[in-house]
Structure 1
Amino acid sequence: MTDSSTDPIAQYRDLLATVPAGLWINGDSVAASTKETFSVDDPATGTSLLQIADATPDDAATALDSAVAVSEEWADTAPRARSEILRNTYELIREYADDMAMIMTLEMGKALPDSVAEINYGGEFLRWFAEEAVRVAGRFTKSPGGTGRIMVTHAPVGVAFAITPWNFPLAMGTRKIGPALAAGCTMIVKPAHETPLTMLYLAKLFGEAGLPAGVLSVLPTSKSAEVSTPLIADPRVRKISFTGSTPVGRTLIGQAAENVQRTSMELGGNAPFLVFDDADVDKAVEGAFAAKTRNGGEACTAANRFLVQEGIAEEFTAALTAKMKAMVLGRGYDSDTTLGPMVSVKQQTSIAEAVSKAVADGARVRLGADPENVSSSASLRLPADDAGCFYPATVLDQVPADAEIVCNEIFGPVAVISTFTAEDEAIAAANATEYGLAAYLYTQDLDRALRVADKIESGMVGVNRGVISDVAAPFGGVKQSGIGREGGSEGIYEYLTTKYIALT
């Protein structure tokens, strides 16, 4: 029997026991071929949550054989039947939403309200693509020269391999699984080793919803490259979808080139958040707070650089600082927590080093850890009784334009504020990055809003909105932020090929 004095998550052990601890292959939870496991830990306490089967290249080959074996049958399954399975899984997610949210918070660390929001958001991708499954359109027309007729149809691209990140353990999976299954593709998913539990639980729900064995496999592993590389090298895999860092994305694109596989890449971001002097400052602060602190700042769409016009800079900074100061730092599953731990010591240390370097570059700390000890564990491991990966809400202003923290994705609860004088200066600063995923701007001038949104080099722009993700809208970036789009009516076509049939 466990108790809280020796096991700080004792009260959640029964819930964790409902998570399949094996690999999900051919519709069942199975041990790894080597019987090896790895530990999934609670980032708030360092406590082991579960020992999970550790997939090997042999296991990946078994999953691929399973996916290939049922690929033709699944492609031939009526779109309405595929739709119903997606819809049934969505309903099961709603039924078990509370359990899934807690599992997510336990493995990833985010405050429970953030996990609840993600369960709702992630589930919606299955409902959306359940509807899109029966709406794939072709066309039939007479050729312009009158020499025949043109028929255009769409077919599943084939077996897909998805690699998902740790920051959104459900939504980054359903955003790929939903369109793939709706299109008639079988899929293998490799979740991040930090957060595989939510995806394994989802796989179990798909089985309960009637998904045929082999259509979806989940391969948790501590040896990502060893498992992924042979899968990508196999010509039977026809689609690669990845969400993660730009350097890893470049590597995967190079590997996919060998077999000319279709790729979708949602990579790094460095989102600018522009606030013009005619903005409603209160609304801008609310939007900034949401754009910065959602998911504890561990989001590719998080506002990374706040560019504020000089006339309102101090008012904006003071108000945002007050809101961030009010955040309650603690274990994500505690009822009053609004800012949980970072996902790992590695992530915590990366943020601490970025802040320390920014202070050395001349930034001023308006809120946060003692700048003299910002990289020490004593200043970060809060609350004091925990050994978790905590980092406090932080606000820096007077940040030089060329500071390293301005150029790199922070992925944490750190607001970096700089000022600008004129509109052209703000646009130039916003575009001074190799990334182009998300951007935000606040102004009450519609002409300015449309003008600036048009000139910003980004795949997505929020105008007077701090949260822009929507299952019905295409998600993706430009430049080094990726290739392809997920979500929206565009998302399903990432998993379909176009075929032209010439008729007399």
Structure 2
Amino acid sequence: MSDIVERVPKQIFLAGQWRDAADGSVFAVQDPGTEEQLCEVADAQDADVREAIEKAVAAQREWAATPPRERGEILRRAWQLMTDRSDEIAELMTLEMGKSIAESKAEVTYAAEFFRWFSEEAVRIDGRYARNPAGGGRMLVSKQAVGPCLLITPWNFPLAMGTRKLGPAIAAGCTMIVKPAQLTPLSMLNLAALLREAGLPDGVLSVLPVTSASRVSGPALADPRIRKMSFTGSTEVGRKLVGQCAENLQRMSMELGGNAPFLVFDDASMDAAVSGAITAKMRNNGESCVAANRFHVHSSIADEFVRRLTEEMSAMKVGHGTEDGIKVGPLINADQRDKVIELVDDAVQRGARATTGGKPLDGKGFFFSPTVLTDMPADARILREEVFGPVAPVTTFDTEDEAVALADDTEFGLVAYLFTRDLDRAIRVGERLSTGMVGLNTGLVSNAAAPFGGVKASGFGREGGAEGIDEYLEVKYLALALNEKG
């Protein structure tokens, strides 16, 4: 066991205290680059979940009454601790998730920024005071914490998806129960220890690693005292959770699947387009909901784009994320690797051609070679399904209308990427695309200061930016009677 894995608590973090599971159950955490076991982690049971709910409810009133400046300072200290320990936090993430050390360090910086951003937002929760238009009174509008929250995080960004939810919840004054992904619980457990060190009071946060997600979500969403649920994950699971929230009319933020189009027009800078394509496709090994899933390139420049993208992808070094110079780590597990194999094989069988890659790597670890597919048939599954791997299928278009139609030909609407040097076209196409976010001449849209979220089957609600804290606040209106004559 590595030193950093050894130091991370492996128990449940229950309302500020480290505890074994109620029945002592544990589950294994695996290194996807070696297929070896890293450690065992406590597996929360029904009794643990019930206690976490009770503790969150009991602590809510006092925590919400904490001065906003105090909540903000806790977040600021947590940001500083994450920044100071970024190397060891990144190593832990690489070991349990697989991404390269460089990618993990970038995620630590990104994740920490949510704490810094929302430390500043905590003291900017405002309202308004206005005269009743009809006279005879005043209107006082304020915002207050929505209440205890259930936060469910995914395996692909095990730290940033946690801070993106925890930051605004802490700033708003909400108590929290976090269910981290079974595949990557260590980053969240480490974060819980860090938040406690930063001064987060006991009772405010519980982290429940668990082998059955419904063991946490079922009881929490069935309890009307849990007032908010934030979920990042698949659309399939998201739909089920929305149904469960309906019974008690709980607030929801849903960041679900994506199928991001990457449009390159004939006037685009080829250097910018290829560089942006590598960023949008290969960040996090392609295991990202905002990863470019299909590349639609103007037919007049498609050959050059494919040639240059192939050169860049084929030069990327694949291996265990802790090794020097690695650009592409393993996929998270055998199931994910097999899904990528299945989608690539389907495309090739239908007539697509791999200009590089196209195969998994031999040996231990769940590695798949960076792949570019051209001559794409319109019925290939990879154009419809989220591949979540290092595969770039390229198709062509001739007109602006055709490009928009291809981009929007999906149930998803999280993000689109658009490369052009024509400002009129950039605005025109950007406004037409049915997505919650658009990357204009950039392959990176993630920013703690910007609202992150999608439309259609990609979910609803926004995380980050000035909009992010509103997801954790309720609006209260006080009607004030007033005798204005004196």
**Cross-structure match for 1:411:** 388
Equivalent residue for 1:204? 193
1:230 deviates by: 1.1
1:217 corresponds to 2:194: no
Matched, 1:437 2:437: no
| 1:56–1:223 contact (8 Å) kept in structure 2 | no
Give CA deviations for 1:463-500 in whole Å, capped at 9, x if unaligned. 10110111000000000000100000000000000011
Shift of 1:26: 2.0
Tell me which residue corresponds to 2:274: 285
Question: Residue in 2 aligned with 1:305?
Answer: 294
Q: Which residue of 1 aligns with 2:117?
A: 128
Is the contact between residue 361 and residue 369 of structure 2 (CA under 8 Å) also seen in structure 1?
A: no
What amino acid is the match of 2:384? C
Structure 2 residue 239 is the aligned partner of structure 1 residue 258: no
Could you tell me how far apart the structure 2 residues matched to 1:461 and 1:337 are? 29
Q: Give, as a single letter, the amino acid of the residue that structure 1 aligns with 2:465.
A: G
Query: Unaligned stretches of 5+ in structure 1?
Result: 1-9, 375-379
What is residue 473 of structure 1 aligned with on the other side? 450
Give the letter for the 1:160 counterpart. C
Partner Cα separation in structure 2 for residue 402 and residue 144 of structure 1: 59
Give yes or no for the alignment of 1:500 onto 2:477. yes
Q: Which moved more, 1:397-406 or 1:486-495?
A: 397-406
1:55 and 2:55 correspond: no
The equivalent position to 1:489 in structure 2, one of 456, 460, 466, is 466
* 1:98 matched residue in structure 2: 87
Q: Is the 1:363–1:398 contact (alpha carbons within 8 Å) kept by the matching residues of 2?
A: yes
Letter in 2 for 1:69: A
- Per the TM alignment, residue 381 of structure 1 is displaced from its structure 2 partner at its CA by 3.8
Give, in angstroms, the shift of residue 50 of structure 1. Answer: 1.1
Query: Is the counterpart of residue 360 in structure 1 residue 349 in structure 2?
Result: yes
Residues 1:186 and 2:175 are matched in the alignment: yes
Q: Quick one: which amino acid aligns to residue 208 of structure 1?
A: E
| Matches for 1:126-205 after TM superposition, within 5 Å | 126-205=115-194
Q: Within 5 A, what are the aligned runs for 1:217-236? A: 217-236=206-225
Work out which of the residue numbers 237, 245, 263 in structure 1 matches 2:226. Answer: 237
Q: Per the alignment, in what secondary structure is the counterpart of residue 476 of structure 2?
A: strand
- Aligned equivalents of 1:287, 1:237: Cα separation in 2: 41
Q: CA deviation at 1:96?
A: 1.1
Please name the residue that 2:441 is paired with: 464
**Contact (CA 8 Å) 1:277, 1:311: kept in 2 or not?**
yes
Q: For the residues of structure 2 that align with 1:75 and 1:88, how far apart are their CA atoms?
A: 19
State the Cα distance separating 1:401 from its structure 2 match: 2.4
Indicate the residue corresponding to 2:308 in structure 1.
319
TM-fit CA distance, 1:336 = 1.9
State the 1:228 CA deviation: 1.6
Name the aligned partner's letter for residue 372 of structure 2.
V
CA deviation after TM superposition for structure 1 residue 227, in Å: 2.4
One-letter amino acid of the structure 1 residue matched with residue 308 of structure 2: A
Moved over 2 A (4+): none
SS in 2 for 1:124: helix
Q: CA deviation at 1:95?
A: 1.4
2: CA distance, partners of 1:26 / 1:437: 34
Deviations 1:163-196 (A, max 9, x none): 0000000000000000001000000100000000
1:342 aligns with 2:351: no
Q: Tell me how far apart the structure 1 counterparts of residues 23 and 200 of structure 2 sit (CA, whole Å).
A: 27
Across the aligned residues of Structure 1 and Structure 2, the Cα RMSD in angstroms comes to 0.8
Name the aligned partner's letter for residue 64 of structure 1: I
AA aligned to 1:70 is A
Q: SS of the counterpart of 1:458?
A: coil
The letter for the 2-side match of 1:431 is: D
Which residue is 2:365 aligned to? 388
User: Which residue identity does 2:472 align to in structure 1?
Assistant: Y
Aligned-partner residue type, residue 24 of structure 2: K
Q: Counterpart in 2 of 1:67?
A: 56
Aligned to 1:77: 66
> CA shift at 1:127, angstroms?
0.4
Shift of 1:214: 1.2
Distance of 1:57 and 1:104 partners within structure 2: 28
* Partner residue, 1:247: 236
CA distance in 2, matches of 1:154, 1:57: 34
1:390, 1:60 → 2: CA distance? 36
Count of residues paired in the alignment = 481
Partner of 2:484: none
Within the candidate set 428, 432, 441, 2:405 is matched to 428
Residue in 2 aligned with 1:454? 431
